[in-house]
Structure 1
Amino acid sequence: MHGPNPQEKHPMPGFKQVCYLKNVIKNPNIIVGDYTYYDDPEQTENFEDSVLYHFPFVGDKLIIGKFCAIARGVQFIMNGANHKMSGISTYPFQIFGGGWEAVTPAAGELPFKGDTVIENDVWIGYDALVMPGVRIGNGAIVSSRSVVVSDVPPYAIVGGNPARVLKYRFDETEIARLQELAWWDWSVEKITENLKNIVSNDIQALAQS
């Protein structure tokens, strides 16, 4: 056994609702790891339409790790959505020209929260919204219709608006061990050989793989 081909757009034969995102992304500022999939019965290959306000001149990146599961309706708001907030008005006069470009914000005046990073083995549920500059840690779960406005710790389950930690999937010591093991970085052969341990909750057995 060698696992599915990570270069396939649609790894499930005859089923185009699911795609491996890495193979359909064209924007160089969206970086996706192997085996991360998007599930959408209507526009599975149009994932980039879900990444909003992602303007090239802003330069921020959406970075998604390996083995992530992203449900239909998930959206990412990028830094291009931000307006200057230090003045009396937040209205973006400058974008309409006609002389209003004279008040174009100087470099550094617009809020910038950095890259949005989704680590590995993350499950993001239906219709969730991820705000700019957020980091979602390894093994985390984002509940359906959550609004993620701040970083999500590894192996946390978050939900709500704004999303908050509901519980942790493992205790502190176990999370540290899983972070150290980083099974998602193993060779596909080793992952395939150890699937039973990866899908179990026996961390000791995984560590001995």
Structure 2
Amino acid sequence: MPAFRPFPAPGVSHPVPMPDGSVHEGTVFLSAVIDHPRFEVGYYTYASAHHPPEDWAAYLAPYLYPFSPEKLTIGRFCQIASGVEFITASANHRYDGISTFPFAVFGGGPVEGRPSMPSPGADTCVGHDVWIGTGARILPGARIGSGAIIGAGAVVSGEVAPYTIVAGNPARPVRRRFAPETIERLLEIAWWEWPIDRILAHEAAICGGDLSALEHAARH
């Protein structure tokens, strides 16, 4: 019988052990490694990178600055593959006039209130248990519902409904993972809010296809 290995705490930076006793440097629980005033991430959400960065916040969201007006919020138990990038609103240029050039960035007076700077953009929000595939790009102000799957290389803007699979550039819905009434019941259960011991005890129901079993687990 294989030795029992306890589930890592959300404060563990590198939660995947290797056979030689080392850890997989390219996989991290983001809540343990993100220290950024505009970047919020829930417990057990992990990200992977083929070449681990020193600064995971800058790697994932290179235009999100400590002084940015917008926020990036990611829920619990999300899975973020290598090469994913969140292009947040501070990357925007003004494009409602004649020129898009950001004159204020290069000088000639204070930045605040300059006509070449765009207005503050919307926050980018990702729900719980979202899988974002390799090389996907999440554009400013995107809102991704819980349980969604973002295909590899997809370019996502706007809103992705819960438990919807999207793919392509621009990303388009491929299909809903479940019927609307099932999605409503899953969002009501919200298993990601349970304590981790309870989640592990009902792993089969959470990862399986028996909604009745999961609802039974939610009640007990």
Structure-1-length-normalised TM-score:
0.92
Q: CA deviation at 1:170?
A: 0.4
Q: CA deviation at 1:39?
A: 1.0
Task: Determine if the alignment matches structure 1 residue 33 to structure 2 residue 42.
Answer: yes
The 5 A counterparts of 1:61-76 are: 61-76=71-86
Q: Deviations over 1:27-78 (max 9, x none)?
A: 1211111110011131155321220221333321111110000000000111
Q: Root-mean-square deviation (CA), in Å?
A: 2.0
Question: Which of 61, 66, 82 is equivalent to 2:92?
Answer: 82
Residues 56-205 of structure 1: matches in 2 within 5 Å? 56-98=66-108, 104-105=114-115, 110-205=118-213
* Structure 2 counterpart SS, 1:166: strand
Structure 2 unaligned residues grouped into runs of 5+: none
What is the total number of aligned residue pairs between the two structures? 207
Unaligned runs of 5+ in 1: none
User: Aligned equivalents of 1:46 and 1:172: distance in 2?
Assistant: 39
Distance of 1:6 and 1:103 partners within structure 2: 41
Which amino acid in 2 is paired with 1:182? A
CA contact (8 A) 1:94 1:103 kept: no
- TM-score, structure 2 as length reference: 0.87
Distance verdict in 2 for CA 1:89–1:103, change over 3 Å: farther
- 1:126 is paired with a residue of what secondary structure? coil
In structure 2, what is the Cα distance between the partners aligned to 1:164 and 1:113? 23
Greater RCO, CA 8 A, separation 6+: 1
Alignment equivalent of 1:52, drawn from 52, 56, 62 = 62
